[in-house]
């Protein structure tokens, strides 16, 4: 019976938790991910500017389809900027929530 309890405990708590510095190259990986995030934010700024121009052009030229696409693109770009800016907080939140599950 004691062995069965140990197996059940191991199934629910394998004892694995994230540790800093466990693998070589972790600093390089953090820099690469940070650079990708920065590249994404710069791309979103460009997309937001282009979509805003399309929205304005469609509005002033009477192109309802262009205006609708500009609005849609502006909202998508703003959503992407929100997600890119909040990426660390979102991951930290769900990581904390996941560590509380028993």
pLDDT digits (tens, 9 = 90+) for 53-82: 999 999 999 999 999 999 999 999 999 999
**Pick from 70, 68, 64, 79: nearest CA to 52:** 70
The pTM of the full predicted model, rounded to 2 decimals, is 0.70
| Structure confidence at residue 23 (pLDDT) | 77
HSE at residue 9, side-chain half, CA atoms within 13 A, is 7
Check residue 71 and give its pLDDT.
Answer: 96
Residues 10-20: tens digit of each pLDDT: 566 666 677 77
pLDDT number for residue 22: 74
- Cα–Cα distance, 97 to 5 (Å, whole number): 26
Is residue 1's pLDDT more than 60?
A: no
C-alpha dist (Å) from residue 56 to 10, 49, 68: 60, 11, 10
Q: What is the pLDDT of residue 8?
A: 62
Residue, of 40 and 15, whose pLDDT is higher: 40
């Amino acid at each position: 019976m004691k062995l069965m309890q140990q197996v059940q405990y191991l199934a629910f708590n394998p004892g694995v938790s994230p540790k800093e510095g466990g693998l070589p190259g972790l600093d390089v990986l953090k820099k690469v991910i940070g650079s990708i995030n920065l590249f994404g934010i710069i791309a979103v700024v460009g997309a937001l500017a282009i979509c805003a121009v399309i929205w304005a052009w469609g509005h002033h030229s009477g192109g309802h389809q262009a205006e609708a696409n500009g609005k849609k693109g502006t909202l998508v770009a703003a959503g992407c900027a929100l997600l890119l800016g909040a990426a660390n907080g979102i991951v930290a939140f769900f990581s904390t929530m996941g560590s509380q599950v028993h």
